[in-house]
Structure 1
Amino acid sequence: MGRRLAALTLDNLVDLPSTCRGCLFWELDPVSAEAAVRSRKPETEKESWISSVLLDWGACGRIAYVDDVPAGFVLYAPPAYVPRSLAFPTSPVSPDAVLLMTSRILPDYQGQGLGRMLVQAVAKDLVRRGVRAVEAFGDAAWETPSCVLPAEHLLAVGFKTVRSHPRYPRLRLELRSTVSWRAEVEVALERLLGAVQKEPSLRPLGG
């Protein structure tokens, strides 16, 4: 079984799951995202966002392949490129951190270490760029797959709460700690990425 990772580009954007290619939950503010959906051009807006981040900042995602079949992905970017982050009651993201937006391992490929590979690739990429930390908004009441990562799982894999909230706490992982992550933490990360699916959701986030 051949496994490989590739940086997300406009050329391989089509390899994201179909519901994710047209999802603009993170990439646009709620009003703009709804307008894009009404105009039936969400995929075009997604391409525009990817292009802008690639040109201005660089790689903002990774895709995992198994025998050349897309099996999972992760998206991340500085908060300045993620308008939806401002809709959270625990915003803003710290100025020295990159936002872990979302990630997913397709069901047929869970339990094969792909989540671990993706997270390690993100950590290495950001460390090379001099980034100090990764932050994420967690959902403390997470029950079903959504665009927001479950807070409980983020805490289980080493994130620490930096701003509490009954529903949407903001959590942080210092990148220097990723160098010595233990095997059980990496397995937990794989479970986290396997549990999350990116589904469209355009509602503002309340306090």
Structure 2
Amino acid sequence: MSVSIVRLELGSFESLPHHTRRCVFWEVEPTTNGQAYESEFDKEAWISGLLLEWGACGQVAIDSTTNSVIGTAFYAPPNRVPRSQHFPTSPVSHDAVLLTSIRTEPGHEEVATILLDAVLGDLIRRGVRAVEAFGLVRNGAGGAEFGGSIGATPSMSEQPGEAVTGVGLPDLDFWTDEAIIEVAREILEDSQADLCTSCMIDASFLKNSGFDVVSSHQRFPRFRLELDEGLGWKFEVESALEKLVVMAEIDLTGRQRTAVPVGSGAGRVSAKRSPRPEGPRKCKCP
């Protein structure tokens, strides 16, 4: 399978998967009726506004053989993401862009890493200092890794900035989405009861991708990745290597153009051979 990553444009909105096109979990103020909020109009308006005022806000993975979208990633300034204010580990740092979701179609989970690389590459080129994201701990006991104690009531006033180091996730059965939603109803405000687990990023994926926990929580830790210190060097080296390759190709082309073709004129003499001195020629006769 061949995959291409392109920036999301408004003209390609209709090609997005159904859920991605309609779900506005991140993009509008939370509802209070406990029901998931869906509006294709609001999602398109949110994307349109960001493209005009801020720039690219999404990356799209396309299967080149079928020309179908198999994954999407969305990111934006925190003040353009209403939902970001309603997590117990809020707020997002003022100098960071919020990575809201990386969602792949079934059977294409490996595309998530490629989408993340595309997001980071775009933000580094735009001079963004850091990326933050709210992780979702899907494992029943995995919250201990991100600073939460299992079975205890989490604090709604945890202070951000506390780095947490964890151990590997225990090998336990994953919670169902229904169980996660039920927990969310107990530990979050009522307005967070319409949690969309499909539009949240697994905490384990963020940790494995180099993000650090900056605000701990047993279900919704907040992660951060410093772009200038973390991956900036990689893109600088890659850019320098690309320039060296281009320069080498130009130099090689230049040398080929100035090289003297064999037999191109009597006045041209090879640099490695001296001209034969003039003198009487001996005739070799039988």
Fold conserved between structures, TM > 0.5: yes
Of 209, 212, 223, the residue aligned with 1:171 is 223
> Structure 2 matches for 1:105-124, cutoff 5 A?
105-111=104-110, 114-124=111-121
Task: State the secondary structure of the residue aligned to 2:46.
Answer: helix
CA distance in 1, matches of 2:136, 2:2: 34
Compared CA separation, residues 153 and 61, structure 1 to 2 (3 A): same
Q: Indicate yes or no: 2:115 matched with 1:129.
A: no
Give the structure with the higher percent strand.
Answer: 1
Q: Indicate yes or no: 2:46 matched with 1:55.
A: no
Q: Matched residue pairs, number?
A: 176
Compared CA separation, residues 103 and 33, structure 1 to 2 (3 A): farther
For 1:97, the aligned partner's letter is: A
> Does the 8 Å CA contact 1:61/1:74 hold for their aligned counterparts?
yes
Task: State the secondary structure of the residue aligned to 2:10.
Answer: coil
Task: State the secondary structure of the residue aligned to 2:40.
Answer: helix
CA distance in 1, matches of 2:132, 2:43: 22
Partner of 2:248: none
Compared CA separation, residues 32 and 52, structure 1 to 2 (3 A): farther
> Structure 2 matches for 1:1-207, cutoff 5 A?
1-31=1-31, 37=37, 42-67=39-64, 68-111=67-110, 114-141=111-138, 143=175, 144=177, 145-176=197-228, 177-179=230-232
CA distance in 2, matches of 1:78, 1:101: 10
Percent of aligned pairs sharing the same letter: 46
C-alpha offsets along residues 153-184 of structure 1, whole Å, 9 cap, x if unaligned?
32222111111122211110111312567xxx
> Does the 8 Å CA contact 1:25/1:33 hold for their aligned counterparts?
no
For 1:170, the aligned partner's letter is: R
Compared CA separation, residues 32 and 99, structure 1 to 2 (3 A): farther
> Does the 8 Å CA contact 1:28/1:83 hold for their aligned counterparts?
yes
How far the C-alpha of 1:107 sits from its partner, in A, is 2.1
Normalised by the length of structure 2, the TM-score is 0.56
CA distance in 2, matches of 1:129, 1:25: 26
CA distance in 2, matches of 1:88, 1:64: 28
Compared CA separation, residues 95 and 33, structure 1 to 2 (3 A): farther
CA distance in 2, matches of 1:88, 1:133: 19
Task: State the secondary structure of the residue aligned to 2:107.
Answer: helix
CA distance in 2, matches of 1:2, 1:151: 28
How far the C-alpha of 1:109 sits from its partner, in A, is 3.0
Compared CA separation, residues 130 and 110, structure 1 to 2 (3 A): same
Q: CA RMSD in A?
A: 2.4
> Does the 8 Å CA contact 2:134/2:201 hold for their aligned counterparts?
yes
> Does the 8 Å CA contact 1:90/1:168 hold for their aligned counterparts?
yes
Task: State the secondary structure of the residue aligned to 1:146.
Answer: helix
Task: State the secondary structure of the residue aligned to 2:31.
Answer: helix
Normalised by the length of structure 1, the TM-score is 0.76
Unaligned runs of 5+ in 1: 182-207
How far the C-alpha of 1:58 sits from its partner, in A, is 0.4
CA distance in 1, matches of 2:32, 2:102: 22
How far the C-alpha of 1:36 sits from its partner, in A, is 9.8
For 2:68, the aligned partner's letter is: V
For 1:153, the aligned partner's letter is: F
Compared CA separation, residues 5 and 42, structure 1 to 2 (3 A): same
Compared CA separation, residues 33 and 61, structure 1 to 2 (3 A): farther
For 1:11, the aligned partner's letter is: G
Compared CA separation, residues 94 and 42, structure 1 to 2 (3 A): same
Compared CA separation, residues 6 and 128, structure 1 to 2 (3 A): same
Compared CA separation, residues 153 and 35, structure 1 to 2 (3 A): closer
